[in-house]
Structure formats: structure tokens, C-alpha cells
A and B are shown apart, each in its own frame.
Chain A
Amino acid sequence: MAADEPVPAGADPWLALARHTPARIALGRVGASLPSAEVLRFGLAHAQARDAVHRALDLAACAGALAAATGLPAQVVQSQAPDRATYLRRPDLGRRLAPAHAATLAMASPPPDLAVIVADGLSALAVEAHALPLLVRLRRALADLHWAPLVVAGQGRVALGDEIGERLGARLALILIGERPGLSSPDSLGAYLTYAPRPGRSDAERNCVSNIRPAGLDYPRAAHTLAWLVREALQRRVTGVALKDESALRLLDGAAAAPDAEAD
């Protein structure tokens, strides 16, 4: 066979190496190009990731389901980003509450230990699929704490949890948010924990648990990690770099995430 003759599609003879990595290796080639099957497989993955970014979260349905599953009241709010197009261009608006919604959040007394915020972020799919099973486990693991009402936020970024947590008077804010979809993970949920939440907190003042989904960091491990972080944060009165440095949690498989992948 001449060197420039096309090999049959999918015929790279080192396919056995593919068991070592989720990367797209040994794809085969037609001349210099990808075989049709891989072009289509890639196209489908990208289509799913795109749909995940633009899919709207049904906020009321989400709040209803979470309330029923946890026994906590749940309310719906919106960020200052009125739509997805604005949300993508103006991250600053996704970090602040729409004024009309800000007024509906009341300071609780005594101050709650924990406010949980669920936001669409960059993947409504992730929230629809994983927020409820994770939250049920977390509620069970932290049943002794004083919880604020749940808040479900539309067009939200990570830092939106700071303003919500402050308005609720909570010691800790935990936001569960859809991460930027990867090609092989359109439904990845992220969790960010901030002590003494208030607008202006930096990313260095939060702890992040990333890639929460059955194929990544599964619910039991994610809930275990988050519950540990919540208790440590309440006890040490800090989150972020200071807490992270003293924990071994980052070493958990899948817990080390690329910071760029988050919907901050």
C-alpha cells in the first residue's frame, strides 16, 4: 500500500492505547482528514454542549422539586442579566440580583448556618440532573445545621451566591451551579462555598468542588466532600485558600478542576 493511500476509516492500529485515556486518540484518518464517523461524533458532542449552554432552566419547577425533596422552602430569583445573550457578554450582571428580587430575600433570625443557592450557570442540564440528588444527600449529612430557605437563581454566576447569602444573613453560602460544558461533559455541576458571603468576595476566598456528575465526582463523594468543607468552614470561620491548604480533599480523584472551566 502506498504511503499516501487512505487507510480504512477508524483503522489506526494503536486503538489499544485508548483504554489509558478519555482523550480522542486512534481516530483513524482518510488521507489527512478525520473519518466521517468521528466528524459526526464530535459534531453531536458539540451540539449537546451548545444546547446545554442555551437551555433555559425551569426555575419554578426546579424550586418545587427541591422544596419537596428537602422539606425546605424554596424561592426563585433572577440576576440582573435579562437573557442568555446578555448573560454571556456581561458576567458582571450575572453576579448581581435584579433589584425587584433582592427585596424579596429576608434576613432570617437567628442567622442560618448555611444558605444553599442553585443557579443555572452555563448548564441548566447539570442543575436539572444533579442538583436534587446531591442536595438530598447534603441535607441528610448536615441535618443538624440551621438552613436558610433554598434559593433558585436564573442567569446566575458564582458570585451571585454572595449577595443572596448576605441578604439571608447566612454564615456560609453554597452555590450549586452549571459549569461551562465540556465536549464530553455537558452536565457538569460545580459547588462553591463562601464564608461570610457578601458582594466583592474574590475567588481566592471560596472553596470549589468541581465536575459533580455520575461519570465524574459522583453524588456520595461530592456530598461527603462538601459536608466536610461546610463543617470545617463553620468551625474555622474561613473558606478559600486558607481552608484548602490544610485539607487533603484536592487529592480526591476528580476534585482537582481547571479553574478556567467554572462559570464564574
Chain B
Amino acid sequence: MAYQQTIGVRRYGFPDLRTLLARASPERSGDQLAGLAAASAEERMAARLALADVPLARFLDEALIPYERDAVTRLIVDGHDRAAFAPVAALTVGAFRDWLLLPSTDSACLAALAPGLTPEMVAAVSKLMRNQDLILVARKCRVVTAFRTTLGLPGRLAVRLQPNHPNDDERGILASTLDGLLYGAGDAVIGVNPASDSVATQVRLLERLDALRTRFDIPMQSCVLAHVTGTLEAIRLGAPVDLVFQSIAGTEAANASFGVTLALLDEAHAAARALGRGTVGDNLMYFETGQGSALSADAHHGVDQQTCEARAYAVARRYRPLLVNTVVGFIGPEYLYDGKQIVRAGLEDHCCGKLLGVPMGCDICYTNHAEADQDDMDVLLTLLGAAGVNFIMGVPGADDVMLNYQSTSFHDALYLRELLGLKRAPEFEAWLARMGITDADGHLAAPAAQARLAGRLAQVLG
């Protein structure tokens, strides 16, 4: 056995790094479904003890998924920056956790290190970290991106306004959008999940949202979260495409199940950049991920779901994205069973993404067949606010009437701002004050003022 640990009279063996990582992973229904989880609580700790002694450099020599078989592995290996890795090159995984928690390991230090880390290294160290470690380390990471707003600055939190409608009705979508704007949300992106997969619908919605933007001079970016091929077509048709959206995963086969390759993403990235629509920055990719997607596509190669997820961030960072969103509880209880597993996964994803230099946000969410409720979402929301998450979702009343799941609401974002004193993206914050939606301190205006504003904004429903 390549990796071993003895506890009392019992000896645990793990044939390879992939197995060791899976057995060390916190309990998770998806890994159990895949048959990868530790068989006992003691075996899980044995794996963690063994993992703590593995040198970080070992991850450069032992690929979890063979280089020849997987484009994501090739991306990770070929893109590794050995010079950036140097400060931690001599550490074991356990010593790396200790190093991350040192006060001297600051934001600048972590930003410089990011290109030297692989997804497998950060997944490994996260398995040795408690929730408080995941929060503290993530908070030290700073990933700032910009398009028409600047996101990820210290002391700030942005919101993706998610105005979905079951039939893509334009008025319905605009009504939810105005609701969100009047609640001071939308600085990350106004992003619609379309019910229809038609490019015509995508173009129509993009035009309406862009008309709203120009009419009120809003520093915002819009996005219709259609497949990347649809967005490429929309660009060819001359639609006002700000951001390119795509769901991605951590293996080549899982990405193939989404209908994407790195070449296709390269093409879409280049096409959108050529439009030159950003004003304060040129980060324009918007990726969504989530633990369990590789297993769901039967494309996990025996790698645990949290490590697969971290590998998706290697795909994301190739494109210097504006937003990366882990949609943590959407996939269902066969992957993340309950509130405890969802909370842990959200913190892991956020911390691992940030360590890799990815602008992480989180769709803090659950479905009705998961053992979770709004109280669990409040816990994860508060913890991610403390951890410095770049953005969260804003769904009217937390109830997505198109996708049938519960996320966070405009009110939830206000709660977090109130609790932790978090400001909005500076450009958007200034616009809200200029419009009179908020006062100079960022608090929502009184109802009388809002009535006039709502009347003015509602003209776009025309």
C-alpha cells in the first residue's frame, strides 16, 4: 500500500492518492453513493492522519486522473507555476494547513502563491481544516475582478440578481429585476436562467436588460445563463452580450457531458472580449459549479466530489472570470444530504476557490427533498459573509419559481450587510445613492421616496 496509517492494532492502507483523498473527505452522501467514502469514522481519521504527512510536492508527481486521459489534468500540470510554489514546496499537507493559519501568511502572500497551488493540494488541505479554518483562510484571500462594477474588494459583498420566470416572460423578469434594484441588489450581475433554450429568447432578454441599463445608466452587467454555444450565436447575431456563462466541472468527461471543451470556452472568451463592453475591467466569464456534478455525469474517475469540484476551479481560472459560483445545495440529497453537509461544502468550495485565485461566490441553496431549511441557509450565509464571499444570490423571497429551489433573497443580503457592515460594489453603491434608492450610508430610502422611484423605474415595463 502506498499510504498507510496504524491506529492501535488496526492498520489502514490506501493504494493511491486518489483513494486517500476520498477516504479523508468529510462524510458526504455523494461519496457514499459512489462507493468512495471511508467505511468508518476511524478510517476517515486514519486517512486524514496519513494525508497530513504527504508532502505537497507529491501532488505534482501523482496525478489523480492520468495526464493522457484528461484535459483538465493537463491544464493543471502544464499550468503549474513552480516558482510561485517554492515557498511551500517543502511542506507536508498538515504543515501547509498550519502555515496558512499563520498571521504572517497574508493576502499578498496568498495571491502570489495561488498559481503555484493545484486543485488537489487545496482539496487535500481543506480536508484537514475545520470550518473555522476554512473561514479564516478564505478571508485572507483577496480576488478582485471587474467589468462595469468592481467585485471582491475588502469589506464588500455583491449580489447576483436572479429574476427568473417560469415562461421567460419579459415583464415578469423586469418586475423581479426592479424589485431587486429597489432592494439595492444586482451589483454582481443581473443574471436570468432561461426556461427556454432558444437563442431568440436569449437575445430578446439581453436586449431588454441592456435597455434597462442604458436608460438608467446603471453600472451593471447582465447575463442570460444559456449554454455557451447559444451565447456564441447571440454574439454573432449582434446581441448585447456582457458576460459569457457556462456550467463547468472538474474532469474532461464531465465537461463533455455539459457539451463543453476548453477549445469552445476559449472561442467564447475571445468572442466576448472582442466586444470590449467592460468599462472598469475586462473579466467577463461567469462559471457555475457544484459538488457532485462529475459523479452525476458518471465522469468522476474514482475521485471524491470535493476534489472534483476544486479541479473545476482550475478550468475557471484559465479565463480570469468575473464570477465563479458554487451552486452548493442544488444537486440534491444524494450528493449533499442535509444542512450540515451543505454548509461544510459551501465553506470548502469558497476557501478552495479563493486559494486558487478564483473570484468565488456561492448560491447558498437547497431543494425540498434535502434535509435542510432556511435556518441552515442562514448559517451558511452568515459564515460565508464572515469568510468574505465575493457574491451571493438575490432571488425574490428566496423562492426561485422557475428552477424550483430555495436560495438567498434580497432581504438576506440586507441582513448580511446590516450584521457585518458589508458595502456594495463601489460603482453600484454610488449609482444607488445617486438614484435615491439608498442614502449616503447605503441604507434603503424611505417608502415615500421609493414610491416615486418605483414609478419611474416601472416605465421600462412600458
Contacts and interface: CB of A to CB of B under 8 A. Distances in A.
A27 B397 CA distance: 7
A182 B404 contact: yes
A206 B179 CA distance: 38
Interface in B193-219: 193, 195-196
A17 B33 contact: no
A4 B443 CA distance: 6
Contacts of A27: 396-397, 411
Given A25-B396, A27-B411, A88-B333, A1 B446 contact: yes
Interface in A115-160: 122
B209 to A, nearest CB: 15
B415 interface: yes
A170 to B, nearest CB: 27
Contacts of A31: 418
Contacts of A22: 165-166, 172, 401
A183 B406 contact: yes
B175 interface: yes
A162 B330 CA distance: 26
Contacts of A17: 175, 178-179, 454, 458, 461
Contacts of A61: none
Q: Tell me whether chain A's interface is mostly helix, strand or loop, or mixed.
A: loop
Nearest to A7: B447
A12 interface: yes
Contacts of A8: 447
Contacts of B374: 42-43, 46
A256 B418 CA distance: 39
Nearest to B165: A21
Interface in B389-439: 395-399, 401-406, 409, 411, 414-415, 417-418, 438-439
> Chain B contact residues (Cβ within 8 angstroms of A): what range?
35 or more
B443 A23 contact: no
B310 to A, nearest CB: 23
Contacts, number: 174
Contacts of A261: 403-404
B454 to A, nearest CB: 4
Interface string A242-264: 00000000000110111011000
Contacts of B337: 88-89
A44 to B, nearest CB: 12
A166 to B, nearest CB: 22
Contacts of A2: 446
B176, B369, B401, B441 interface centre (most CB from chain A within 10 Å):
B369
Contact of B33 (A45, A50, A53, A90): A90
Contacts of A92: 33
Contacts of B395: 23
17 contacts: A1-B446, A12-B182, A17-B175, A17-B461, A20-B172, A20-B461, A21-B173, A22-B401, A23-B395, A25-B397, A32-B418, A42-B374, A45-B399, A53-B369, A89-B333, A254-B166, A256-B167
Interface of B: 29, 32-33, 163-167, 169, 171-176, 178-179, 182-183, 193, 195-196, 330, 332-334, 337, 367-369, 373-374, 395-399, 401-406, 409, 411, 414-415, 417-418, 438-439, 441, 443-448, 450-451, 454, 458, 461
Interface of A: 1-5, 7-8, 11-14, 16-18, 20-27, 29, 31-34, 38, 42-43, 45-46, 49-50, 52-53, 88-92, 122, 180-186, 253-254, 256-258, 260-261
